[in-house]
Structure 1
């Protein structure tokens, strides 16, 4: 039986002071084997996050079937006000956890990050700079890679193929590329030319790297609006990340870019001495934006998308044409050969 009138019925939501949401799925089922150091690394991740974010950031942690130690820690962070939301679920997989984190919110920017990211000072500021300097940007990763030039970037190639604004330039922080390669257990990931040059887009003196990774990326909210993906069959990997995090960006006519310098580290699952030291050296945030930056709307017809993404991608990735494209963008014949060998 209902008695009386619910005072919240037909009542508008209170204005939201936040404009940037950060979603981190957390899966630490135990403290043994592969996950032996994961809880410590999660703490590194969150402590670096707290030091580097601005006050308009809304933090959502999705407990994706973690053990009691981890769950209690996340819930305590919520109770003490360090974070804003904890979503407790069984192990539904990384992508489904992300979908849960997005639902029910409306923020201008959404950052999706793994629980083994070490955030560095100014990562938000530099991410916003990329969105501002390149209005077509839909996703920004604060960790650049010289191997991302083929990763859902063919709309960029199509639009800037004969423009000098898309060109190979000197890698700003080669040590960061080496650090990422080591963190994923592949020290041979980058050869000499990858550590020297990457493909960038320029706006005056400002540059961003073509392509973006997955372990931490910030998206315009439009990327997730009217999304076709409602559920992923994969716990991790498969084509789930591509369908939810990559494809919608280019489908809506947007670019996937990375910052020119490095503003985050990937930690992996094994604790190392440098992690604690780097965390202690991170300076607190001094960036306090009042409002989100203004972003222009981007429209792309289905015909234009089909041609740029489906047709053009098949043309430019043909071996001889791709080789020509690399040379057109500033690589020598020898450099283009090395890039081709390592990216196919």
Structure 2
């Protein structure tokens, strides 16, 4: 039998002070298995660099997505040491897959901005202000990464292309931090970029402010409205299988929002093997902690449906079928 009235009924609205949430899905099923032997140290670099570079209106959610018990206890120790900032830990004995793990948090939080990051990312000072400022400079942006990629334009950027052609400007710009691109390709063990990619990347401009066209998946910040356009069914893939495109990229692009990256490189993808330079860089990050301040976001804006459809047509035409001719027109004379 219930006695009295639930006090929540008198003040039933949810109010939050935070404006930005960072979501990390962690998967370390067996730390003695060769592939995962360095994963815990890599994750601590991710988390500690994050704690050292965020403003006080940021909250962190971690989902233990099929992690062994020892790893789970270490994560809870971090939460006990940072109870205000790390305010959510979700636990699943079963590996739910990256998308399902992320969505369990995305759909239950109210912050205006949601950063989704892999557990092997090192955040650099200034990343948050650079990302948040890009949302201010481009009110139609739905996704912004602190890591630019010269090949990011290839994926889910139809709305961004339309915007660049008809609302702002689109052109090639000198790469600001080529070492960031080099670091990324080394971290994944693949030669992704040719010499021209380290020299030029495609940018859009709005009222003198610039951002790189497109970005990758391993770290990106979204407006919460993007996920209103996402599929409602459960994702059937643990990783890949087109899951990130279907649940992250396409909802942003097809809803008429821009997919961008900061001009400078503000994070490193570390991979699964700790290196001495990473330890040194983390010490520098923690020692140089500087104040970050949240920005006031403008209302979310999008392209119209017909503009998105035209953008899809132009994206297929200019970024694929006639890419060489289009890029030559923009001033890049070699295959890109």
For the aligned pair, the TM-score class normalised by the smaller chain equals over 0.9
Alignment partners' CA distance in 2, 1:170 and 1:220:
28
Q: Deviations over 1:215-270 (max 9, x none)?
A: 11001111012532442100011111001110011122111000111000000001
Structure 2-normalised TM-score? 0.93
Q: Deviations over 1:136-187 (max 9, x none)?
A: 111101011111122211222233337882111111111111010000001x
Q: 2:7 maps to what in 1?
A: 7
Equivalent residue in structure 1 for 2:157, among 153, 173, 176: 153
Shift, 1:205, TM fit: 4.8
* Alignment of 1:100 onto 2:84: no
Q: 1:325 maps to what in 2?
A: 326
Shift, 1:69, TM fit: 1.5
* Alignment of 1:17 onto 2:20: no
Q: 1:239 maps to what in 2?
A: 242
Alignment partners' CA distance in 2, 1:163 and 1:132:
16
Structure 1-normalised TM-score? 0.91
Q: 1:298 maps to what in 2?
A: 301
Alignment partners' CA distance in 1, 2:290 and 2:117:
19
* Alignment of 1:315 onto 2:317: yes
The 1:97/1:180 distance shift into structure 2, 3 A limit, reads: same
> SS state of the match for residue 260, structure 1?
coil
Q: Deviations over 1:53-75 (max 9, x none)?
A: 00000110011010112100122
After superposition, residues 164-313 of structure 1 pair within 5 angstroms as 165-186=169-190, 188-203=191-206, 205-282=208-285, 283-289=288-294, 292-309=295-312, 311-313=313-315
Unaligned runs of 5+ in 1: 340-344
> SS state of the match for residue 171, structure 2?
strand
Q: Deviations over 1:38-63 (max 9, x none)?
A: 01111111010100000000110011
Shift, 1:209, TM fit: 0.7
The 1:77/1:230 distance shift into structure 2, 3 A limit, reads: farther
Which has the larger displacement, 156-165 or 134-143?
156-165
Unaligned runs of 5+ in 2: none
The 1:45/1:153 distance shift into structure 2, 3 A limit, reads: same
Equivalent residue in structure 1 for 2:147, among 121, 143, 151: 143
> SS state of the match for residue 8, structure 1?
helix
* Alignment of 1:131 onto 2:141: no
> SS state of the match for residue 265, structure 1?
strand
* Alignment of 1:91 onto 2:92: no
Asked whether the 8 Å contact 2:256–2:305 carries over to 1, the reply is no
Alignment partners' CA distance in 1, 2:195 and 2:167:
26
* Alignment of 1:66 onto 2:67: yes
* Alignment of 1:122 onto 2:126: yes
The 1:199/1:173 distance shift into structure 2, 3 A limit, reads: same
> SS state of the match for residue 28, structure 1?
coil
Alignment partners' CA distance in 2, 1:299 and 1:171:
28
Q: Give the aligned length.
A: 330
Which has the larger displacement, 165-174 or 155-164?
155-164
Alignment partners' CA distance in 2, 1:241 and 1:135:
23
The 1:263/1:326 distance shift into structure 2, 3 A limit, reads: same
Alignment partners' CA distance in 2, 1:104 and 1:151:
28
Alignment partners' CA distance in 2, 1:233 and 1:92:
9
Shift, 1:111, TM fit: 0.2
- Alignment RMSD: 1.8
Alignment partners' CA distance in 1, 2:233 and 2:289:
37
